[in-house]
Structures are given as structure tokens and as C-alpha cells.
A and B are shown apart, each in its own frame.
Chain A
Amino acid sequence: MATKLERMAGSKHRFLLNMGPQHPSTHGVLRVVLEMDGEYAMELDPVLGYGHRMHEKMAEVRPTSGFYPNTARMDYLGAILFSHGYVGLLERMAGVEVPERAEYIRVITAELNRISSHLVGIGAYVLDLGAFTPILYAFDDREKILDILEAITGSRLTYCYFRAGGVSRDIDDTFIRRTREFIDRMRNRMPMYHDLVTDNIIFLKRTKEIGLIDRDMAIRYGLTGPVLRGSGIAYDVRKSEPYSIYDRFDFEIPTGENGDSFDRYLVRMEEIVQSLRIIEQALDALPDGPVMAKTKKIKLPAGECNYTVEAARGSLSYYLVGDGSDTPYRLKIRVPSYANLSPLPELCRGILLSDLVTAMGSLDLVIPEIDR
């Protein structure tokens, strides 16, 4: 009996290549089935769901506070940003005022988290291109962030730090000193990354003009985050509909010109610099006061509510339908990586296998976030 592969191969001289879920460059558990013509990928089919843990369903069976730890386990690289969206939603819905200091702390930790996420994203991306060393330098810097955050949140990766109404623990002078040290350190390290990676001719040749996403295509697929900004659209939730206190800070939205893999990489690098600026301003303006709102017990009214934040990979929305009880009737999470994955089949039509890895890496996907 002819296998599927043989039937396909027939006259077209194409064959199927299964990439993942355990392939070095599918980051975690994405599986893509490729129809290859020699080294060229002709069709691509992403297969999702290997990391499904039914987070949305879990939200429906427990009190709202019970979902805090879950937020950290979707995008494990940007856990604080994901919690930010969730607590923001609860506060908007229940009408809780968050103390000033707590908002500043949230912004500082969230931006630190964004930097650490981008560092991993960039490091892993360059690793996909075959350079082993930059990821370890990136991890060296990221380690500093993890240390800073560990001292305040108690964990290194899956932070459960934000609470509806504030944060679970106040920051201290050590935190401020270390964060300032980190800002200086990171600024000094940026030229090194540019020397080692950005200017490298092999890197330029591998990423320029590869995985082109133009403005139309970016909008058509609903892309967000660095992937969208790489295509030249300056959309950032922090600017377009400022949540928390982001309207108080002065920062720019870096954008790319061509929408190729290189631009997306550069946008991430530039965002690190901008995040450093935000952190610096927030540290300068940090007010005194409580870090937790007085009303500790939050009551959710019946009705629906949406809250959108800018996570490390794009805009993240929590949409909650409440029935007046303690537990949500339904919680829908719009994760950025899912939309960011969707242009992959179109992106990869007729490109080399190596370019496919480049293009896929530049989307900076976190698969557990898609599967959730």
C-alpha cells in the first residue's frame, strides 16, 4: 500500500518533513509538518496542542485569586506581564483603586521582565542561526534580572507577584540599587551585542529580507508586538491605550522598515533600551505609600470586561464574563503568540529550510502560551 508520502511524491517530487515537537528550533513543543521540494519548504502546517493545560477552563472553577499562578505558566518568559493583564482585568471589573506605589512597582518589574524575555528571545534566535555564544551572554544579563526579581518576588521564573489591588510585597532600597546597577550594566552591554551579532555579516545576510511581512500582511493576520512593529506599524498598547501608569513615561516605540527578520530582531534590541528608560523614570518618580489597596476582598459584578496589556510578544487581552459569583463564568485569553504564529505558512512558502528556521525564530513564539 502506498503511504501518504509515496502518494504525494508521485509526480511532484515532494516529500513530507516532520519538524518537532522535539526539534531544536521549534522551541518547546511546536510541531510543523513541511512539504518539501528539495531544501525548499513548499507548504507548512503547524500542529498545536502539545502543551495544552486548559488554563481557561481552570479559571472557571476557582475563585479569581486562584488563577494568579496560572497566569505565570502561559508565557513563562514574561510571567509578570501576563499577571499584569489579569490583575488589571480584576481591578477594572471590581473597580479597585491601586495605590500609586504599587503601580510604579508594577511598571518596574514588568519592564524588567520584558527585558529578560527579550534577552531570551534574541539569544534563542541567534542560537537558531547557529551561534552558540550570544545566548549565554544574554543569559548572563538575564540572570541579573532574575536575581533582582527573585529577591522581591521569591521566584525566578513563574512569578506570582501581582495581586488585584497591588503587589504582594514592597520593594526595598537594595532592589532599587540593584536595578539601577542593572540599567547601567545593560546599557554598557548593548554595544557588545551589536558588535557580536547585529553587525556580523553572516547574521545580516541570514536575516535581511528573510521572512518578509509587509504592513498589509501584518494587519491581515492581526499581528502584534515586536513582529508588528518590525513591519513599520507603531502600535503598542502602552501608548495607544495606556494602561496602568504608562502614560506618565517618556519612551519611544521602535519600528522597523522592511518587516524582515532583521527588523524584528532590531526592534527587540531597541525595546530593551526603551524599557531601561521607563524603569529609570519610574525609579526616579517612585512615590511612598502602601503597595496594596485597602479593599482586600474583591467582588466581581455580573457582566463582562476586557483588559489589554502589552506583553513581551504583543498585545495580550483578558476577557472575563462574570455572573456575579466569586468565580468567572468564562475567561478568554487572547495571547499574542497565537496570532504571531499564523502568518508562518504564508511566510514560508517556497523558502529554504534554513530561512524557515530564521523566519520562525524571528517571530519569537512561546508555544505553551499558544497551547495554554
Chain B
Amino acid sequence: MSGYFSDLITGSKSLLVGLGVTLKALVSPVVTVQYPREKIDVSPAFRGHIDLMKDETTGTHRCIVCLSCMKACPCQCITVEGEKQEGVKGKVLTLFTLDFTKCSLCGLCVESCKPHAIDFSDEYELAGFSREEFFYDLLKRVKERA
């Protein structure tokens, strides 16, 4: 019985305090943004899918077809192929694809690449209707950007 009235009083007080908290929130500014209309800047470190970087001096990618990214990738989603060409030292990149459906965005490929030929893109609005849309041909992408 002793708790009967104290419960009533402390209880009612706590309920009023709770209402106060939500009332304060009601008049505080909104913290969300209306996504497709407003966008927040992507942080520079953001890991999107990987992309071949364009070298400003040569105007093309820097890949030397060492295949270490392919080996480092735990998800086997990178395929790199190259061939010997006349008059060029080392191999020339002929194929660089990424199966983004499997990528876990771990960053091991980027870290393993000595010439820093690949980096993360900052694209995050990636939705598609089919699996095939996420098989990226990175070589083609870098050429298109060039």
C-alpha cells in the first residue's frame, strides 16, 4: 500500500517529463534531409565500387597487369587480363572487369595495387533491374572518361 500513492505521484511526474522531452523535439529543427532532392556530400574516403584511375600525365590508366589485386580480392570479383604487345614494356591491359554483386568493399585490392591504378569511386546511387548491370567493364569506363 505504501507504494500506491508514491507510484502515482512519481509515475505521473515521469510521464509529464517524458511529454516535455517530445514536446521539445517537436519544436526543434528536423535532422533528416529529403533524400532525392537534397543530398549530403559524400565523404572523400567513401568506398564505392572500384574504378581504374586516370593518370593525368598519360591520359590513361596506370595498370601494369601485375594481377595482385585479383589475387588479393577475397571475393574473386576482379578479372584482369593483359597481353604482350610490340614495343611496349610489360603487358598491356586488355580486360578489367568487376563483378560488383560479389564485392564486399573491403579495399584489399586498392591496397595491394602498387602503382595505385585503382581507387574507389564515390558513386552510391547504384540500383538496377538486373544482375548484369553490375558487371562493370572498368577498362571501358576509364576510356569513356578519357
The interface of chain A, by Cβ under 8 A from chain B, is 62-63, 65-70, 73, 133, 137, 140, 143, 147, 150-155, 158, 160, 163, 168-169, 192, 195-196, 199-202, 204
Interface residues of A, dominant DSSP: helix
B58 at the interface (CB under 8 A from A): no
Query: Which chain A residue has the least Cβ–Cβ distance from B104?
Result: A69
Check B43–A160 contact: CB distance below 8 A. Answer: no
Q: Which of B83-91, B106-114, B126-134 contacts A (4 or more CB under 8 A)?
A: B106-114
Residues A69 and B14 in contact in the complex (CB < 8 Å), given A140-B31, A151-B43, A195-B21: no
Using a CB–CB cutoff of 8 Å, the interface residues on chain B facing chain A are: 7, 10-12, 14-15, 17-18, 20-22, 25, 31, 43-47, 72, 74-75, 104-108, 111, 120
Does A195 contact B20, Cβ atoms closer than 8 Å?
yes
Q: Bound complex: CA of A143 vs CA of B106, how far in Å? A: 21
A327 to B1, CA, bound (A): 67
Report A-chain residues with C-beta under 8 Å of the C-beta of B20: 195
- The closest CB in chain B to the CB of A133 belongs to B22
Q: Are B45 and A152 in contact (CB under 8 A)?
A: yes
Q: Decide yes or no: A201 and B74 within 8 Å by CB, A154-B47, A154-B107 being known contacts.
A: no
Given the complex, which residues of A lie within 8 Å of B72, measured CB to CB? 65
- Bound CA–CA A151/B42 (angstroms): 9
- Across the interface, name the chain A residue whose C-beta is closest to B40: A147
**Whole-angstrom distance between the alpha carbons of A105 and B104 in the complex?**
23
Cα separation A62 to B107 with both chains bound (whole Å): 16
Complex partner residue of A201 from B7, B21, B43, B75, CB under 8 angstroms = B7
A195 to B20, CA, bound (A): 9
CA distance A341 to B33 in the complex (A): 38
Residue contact B104 to A150, C-beta cutoff 8 Å: no
Measured between C-beta atoms, what is the minimum distance from A372 to chain B in Å? 15
A321 to B34, alpha carbons, bound, how many Å? Answer: 50
Q: Which residues on the A side are within 8 Å of B104 (C-beta)? A: 69, 73, 158, 160
Q: Enumerate chain B residues within 8 angstroms of A200, measured Cβ to Cβ.
A: 14-15, 18
Asked, given contacts A158-B104, A196-B21, whether A65 binds B74 with beta carbons under 8 Å apart, the answer is yes
- Closest B-chain residue to A169, C-beta based? B45
> Which 7 pairs across A and B sit closest by C-beta, in order of nearness?
A66-B74, A201-B11, A154-B47, A69-B104, A160-B106, A69-B106, A151-B43
Contacts of B17 in A (CB 8 A): 195-196, 199
Docked complex Cα distance between A192 and B107 (Å): 39
B12: chain A residues within 8 A (beta carbon): 201
